Amino acid sequence: MQASRLTLRLQQWIFRLSRDETLPIVLGQRRIFILPTGAGYLFAVVLAVMLLGAINYTLSLGHALVFLLAGLGLAAMVHTFRNLLGIAITPGRAVPVHAGDVARFPMHLRNAREEARRALGFSFAGGEECFVDLPANGTARIDLPCPAPRRGRLDPGRLTLATRYPLGLFRAWSYPYPQLTCLVYPAPISRPLPPPVAVDDPGLARGDAGHEDFAGLRPHTPSDPPRHVAWKAVARNPAAWPLLVKHFAGGAGEELWLAWDLLADAPDDETRLSVLTGWVLAAEQAGIAYGLAVPGVAFPPASGPAHQERCLEALALHDSGSLHEHVPQAPR
């Protein structure tokens, strides 16, 4: 254990593995490392054999060829190093995804030099390497994939930028370490929406499902109970779609609450969160105002992208201690 900690600290000191807080991240000379590749070592061995042969047989042309190839290798080393030097990296905002999907972290690159940068490879630890070319005095963007196996905040870890351009004899790399995070929602499970609950306060009700004064007909939504369907209107025009529902005004109303307690039969908390996520997506797609109630957090009925985002974030960060917004619990 102590040896592994010592190795980790040694790597952090050598490669300066610390979070970069100043943006953009500019790669200077002290942040770029370079070593020969397997082809580079083989190239050096071949040059050594050629040099021994030229010395043994006193071949002047052999010496000239060896020195020419050695100079070519040194020039390749300089170009490989300069292919990374001075690149400015600015991370973008990752779009939230659901558990099991692939998150993508955008990186914005800027090249202030007069020469293009070729075959720049970006990757996270153990992830797929993605390549991009950066034009002279130009910018480029690359989206780096990272699997999101579970809900919460995804930290992809250290970023590796490497290149073997132009000849593949040397590999130059750097370890930018920007502040990256992606919100991962629970994987949705599709189930029918629960029925709305009655509320006594008309100010809390949506005002479209009371039981006193008939106010007309409106399109059917998945949360409407069957008794509110205008069956006579359906009988007159069976091909009508969507179904029409009787619309009442006044009196007690009903609200759609997506509550934790409705899923007492779920095998575990993650299944509950997945079902609630599916309900949020279904209610939002149907245009229904809905409230969300999970332990410690409740949002009153509303609709729209902002409300959906708040609800999904609450489900993603449930029990993580990252959400601190509390409002009164849902009516029972």
Residue 28 confidence (pLDDT) above 80: yes
Using alpha carbons only, what angle is made at residue 299 by residues 294 and 300, rounded to the nearest 5 degrees?
Answer: 125
- Domain spans in the chain, listed from the N-terminal domain onward: 10-184, 197-316
Q: By three-state DSSP, how is residue 221 classified? A: coil
How many whole angstroms separate alpha carbon 176 and alpha carbon 17? 8
* Of 263, 290, 285, nearest in space to 197 by CA: 290
Q: What is the pLDDT of residue 324?
A: 40
> 212-237, pLDDT tens digit by residue?
555 555 666 665 666 667 666 666 66
Assign 325 a pLDDT band (cuts: 50, 70, 90). Answer: very low
Q: By three-state DSSP, how is residue 102 classified? A: strand
Please state whether the peptide bond connecting residue 36 to the residue before it is cis, i.e. omega within 30 degrees of 0: no
Rounded average pLDDT over 168-178: 94
> 62-97, pLDDT tens digit by residue?
999 999 999 999 999 999 999 999 999 999 999 999
> 1-19, pLDDT tens digit by residue?
565 556 546 555 555 556 6
196/323: higher pLDDT: 196
Assign 255 a pLDDT band (cuts: 50, 70, 90). Answer: confident
Rounded average pLDDT over 111-126: 93
Q: What is the pLDDT of residue 207?
A: 42
How many whole angstroms separate alpha carbon 65 and alpha carbon 286? 75
Q: What is the pLDDT of residue 332?
A: 40
Using alpha carbons only, what angle is made at residue 145 by residues 25 and 94, rounded to the nearest 5 degrees?
Answer: 60
* Of 128, 134, 99, 97, nearest in space to 114 by CA: 134
How many whole angstroms separate alpha carbon 96 and alpha carbon 309? 9
Assign 288 a pLDDT band (cuts: 50, 70, 90). Answer: confident
Q: How many CA atoms lie within 13 A of 119 on its CB side?
A: 13
pTM score of the predicted model: 0.75
pLDDT above 70: percentage of residues in the chain: 73
Assign 286 a pLDDT band (cuts: 50, 70, 90). Answer: confident
Q: What is the pLDDT of residue 210?
A: 44
Rounded average pLDDT over 254-269: 89
Q: What is the pLDDT of residue 296?
A: 87
Cα first-last separation, the chain: 53
Name residue 295's amino acid. P
Give the list of residues 6+ apart from residue 88 with CB closer than 8 angstroms, or none: 24, 25, 26, 27, 109, 110, 111, 112
